[in-house]
């Protein structure tokens, strides 16, 4: 990095750091993003994977957040129709929780707070006639349906990093910031990458370390820059079971404690169930799904399911830590705001640090725009916002019509099994052609793994998407790890993919 001084050093390669990197680099700023592990290795791989307004947040009067998030659903559908798609939800009425009137009022607001182009409106459903696939017990007779969107959260992060890199950003994974010091007119950050350490200089630091944001702020040597970061950490866990028969919609199930639990179609063969709200204080990296959380989730959904689930059905579980804004007056972790705040501190010499607290996957693009608005006074002549109408890499699907695009691909690559082609197209969109390259028959894809993964795709991911370990490939760039685990061949697949990974940088 030598004597170069970047405009921005972004600490954290989750969705917020990657989103800011893409926006800033596209406006011509010189950007370096550092991530201590893999891209999306923190909270951004462990969300419920919804681009949603957050129906529940209306109960906490979070109208600004809900409106912004509702609008972003349409923007994200346009920008990345391969990894974002509409998902219908069924919300059964249940005794002793919210009244029908209250739900109807909430859905009316949800339908009208923001203009919709592609997302249908909500409506009442008679569950005795529209059986919702036979998923629910027959005594749940009435309910509603409404729409939000699904997103592959970890791939969204990678696509933003790719967009940033295409505009010249340096993306450095497995690189941890270990100390920060102010110099004359620039920050000096010490970076640790394996055994090697290096210095990176930048005028502005964006602390996008999510649940680590307070720890990063504490790295400032004289500790004048940051102040205390008002962060509250709340763990959320999910369990994954083989696809519940008929559960092709999402379900929003009301629990007796007033919380809601999602039941969501996941990959082609699984159902994702979550989530929980557990205050935590240790390292975010240590979060795991506890036996109590598993039991809570199973009990919450078994009240509704025609065929109850047991612990033995669980094929995978994961946990993430929400970096929420602290609120001393709020003891209920479910009621803490899911909105974001930005804190800018600076000194007379022109160095500044902007710390991000909170934020959803859904609102990352607007958060990045808000970051740029805050930094604008420090960057004379900053070009205007640009990301809303620019597709993410692979998202330039004609007319945004993924199904039509798939039909064309099926003709072009008739030799590839349908499920594999669909998995590739979902992951890569129009970049699927780069992944397949000059392959003309299935043998040309090299060793094949579950989940549509092949040696050829592994090579693409290592060359183009910063994948450095088998875990990066199996659990974040793809979900082949889940398919392998559910088929009982995880160890074999892990060994196979590890054998294909180029040696790691020291």
Ligand X SMILES: Cc1cc2nc3c(=O)[nH]c(=O)nc-3n(C[C@H](O)[C@H](O)[C@H](O)COP(=O)(O)OP(=O)(O)OC[C@H]3O[C@@H](n4cnc5c(N)ncnc54)[C@H](O)[C@@H]3O)c2cc1C
Q: Which one, 17 or 452, has the nearer CB to ligand X? A: 17
Site for ligand X in 173-202 (CB under 6 A): 176-177
Site for ligand X contains 53 (CB under 6 A):
no
Site for ligand X contains 217 (CB under 6 A):
no
Site for ligand X contains 34 (CB under 6 A):
yes
C-alpha to C-alpha distances, 346 to 84, 178, 205, nearest whole angstrom: 38, 20, 10
CA distance 5 to 18: 20
Q: What is the DSSP track for 139-198?
A: T--EEEEEEEEEE-HHHHHHHHHHHHHHTT-EEE-S-EEEEEEE-SSSEEEEEEETTEEE
Residue 195 Cβ, how far from ligand X at the closest point, in Å? 16
Site for ligand X in 401-440 (CB under 6 A): none
Size of the site for ligand X (CB under 6 A): 40
Interface pick for ligand X out of 143, 210, 250, 452 (rule CB under 6 A):
210
Interface pick for ligand X out of 8, 12, 74, 432 (rule CB under 6 A):
12
CA distance 451 to 474: 9
Question: Residues 90-119: x/- map of binding to ligand X (CB under 6 A)?
Answer: ------------------------------
Interface pick for ligand X out of 23, 36, 432, 496 (rule CB under 6 A):
36
User: Which of helix, strand or coil describes residue 70?
Assistant: helix
Interface pick for ligand X out of 9, 46, 91, 225 (rule CB under 6 A):
46
439 Ramachandran zone, left/alpha/beta (phi>0; psi -120 to 50): beta
Residue 8 Cβ, how far from ligand X at the closest point, in Å? 14
Q: Are strands 260-266 and 250-254 parallel, antiparallel or unpaired?
A: antiparallel
Q: How many helices (H) and strands (E) does the chain have?
A: 14, 18
Number of Cα atoms under 13 Å in the Cβ half of residue 379: 21
Q: Which one, 56 or 82, has the nearer CB to ligand X? A: 56
Site for ligand X contains 250 (CB under 6 A):
no
Site for ligand X in 221-240 (CB under 6 A): 236
List Cβ neighbours of 312 (8 Å cut-off, separation of 6 or more). Answer: none
Nearest to 157 by CA among 414, 459, 416, 359: 359
Interface pick for ligand X out of 323, 394, 429, 496 (rule CB under 6 A):
323
Taking a C-beta distance cutoff of 8 angstroms, is the pair 248, 133 a contact? yes
Site for ligand X contains 241 (CB under 6 A):
no
Site for ligand X contains 37 (CB under 6 A):
yes
Footprint on this chain of ligand X (rule: CB under 6 A): 11-17, 34-37, 41-44, 46-50, 52, 176-177, 208-212, 216, 236, 274-275, 320-323, 359-362
């Amino acid at each position: 990095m030598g004597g170069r001084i970047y405009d921005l050093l972004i600490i954290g390669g989750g969705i917020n750091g990657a989103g800011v990197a893409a926006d800033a680099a596209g406006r011509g700023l010189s950007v370096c993003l550092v991530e201590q592990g893999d891209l999306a290795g923190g909270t951004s791989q462990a969300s419920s994977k919804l681009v949603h307004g957050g129906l529940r947040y209306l109960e906490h009067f979070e109208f600004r957040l809900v409106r912004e998030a509702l609008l972003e659903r349409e923007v994200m559908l346009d920008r990345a129709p391969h990894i974002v798609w509409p998902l219908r939800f069924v919300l059964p009425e249940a005794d002793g929780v919210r009244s029908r009137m209250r739900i109807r009022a909430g859905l009316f607001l949800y339908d009208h707070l923001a203009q919709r182009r592609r997302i249908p409106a909500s409506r009442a459903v008679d569950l005795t006639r529209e059986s919702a696939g036979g998923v629910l017990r027959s005594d749940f007779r009435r309910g509603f349906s409404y729409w939000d969107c699904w997103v592959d959260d970890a791939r969204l992060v990678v696509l933003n990093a790719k967009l940033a890199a295409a505009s010249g950003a340096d993306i450095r994974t497995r690189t941890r910031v270990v100390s920060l010091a102010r110099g004359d007119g620039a920050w000096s950050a010490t970076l640790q990458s394996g055994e090697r350490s290096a210095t990176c200089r930048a005028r502005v630091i964006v602390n996008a370390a999510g649940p680590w944001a307070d720890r990063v702020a504490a790295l400032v040597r004289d500790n004048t820059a940051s102040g205390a970061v008002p962060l509250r950490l709340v763990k959320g866990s999910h369990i994954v079971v083989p696809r519940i028969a008929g559960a092709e919609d999402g379900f929003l199930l009301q629990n007796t404690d007033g919380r809601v639990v999602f039941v969501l179609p996941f990959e082609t063969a699984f159902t994702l169930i979550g989530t929980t709200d557990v205050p935590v204080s240790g390292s975010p990296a240590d979060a795991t799904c506890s036996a109590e959380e598993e039991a809570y989730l199973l009990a919450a959904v078994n009240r509704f399911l025609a065929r109850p689930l047991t612990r033995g059905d669980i094929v995978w579980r994961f946990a993430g830590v929400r970096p929420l804004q602290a609120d001393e007056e709020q003891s209920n972790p479910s009621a803490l705001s899911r909105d974001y705040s930005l804190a800018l501190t600076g000194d007379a010499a022109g160095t500044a640090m902007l710390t991000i607290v909170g934020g959803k996957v859904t609102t990352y693009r607007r958060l990045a725009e808000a970051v740029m608005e805050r930094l604008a006074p420090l960057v004379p002549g900053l070009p205007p916002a640009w990301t809303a109408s620019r597709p993410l890499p692979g998202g330039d699907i004609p007319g945004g019509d993924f199904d039509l695009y798939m039909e064309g691909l099926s003709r072009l690559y008739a030799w590839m099994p349908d499920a594999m082609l669909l998995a590739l197209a979902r992951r890569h969109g129009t970049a699927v052609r780069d992944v397949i390259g000059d392959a003309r028959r299935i043998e040309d894809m090299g060793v094949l793994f579950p989940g549509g993964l092949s040696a050829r795709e592994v090579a693409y991911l290592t060359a183009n998407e910063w994948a450095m370990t088998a875990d990066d490939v199996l659990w974040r760039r793809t979900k082949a790890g889940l398919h392998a685990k559910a088929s009982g061949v995880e160890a074999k697949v892990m060994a196979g993919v590890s054998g294909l990974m180029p040696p790691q940088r020291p």
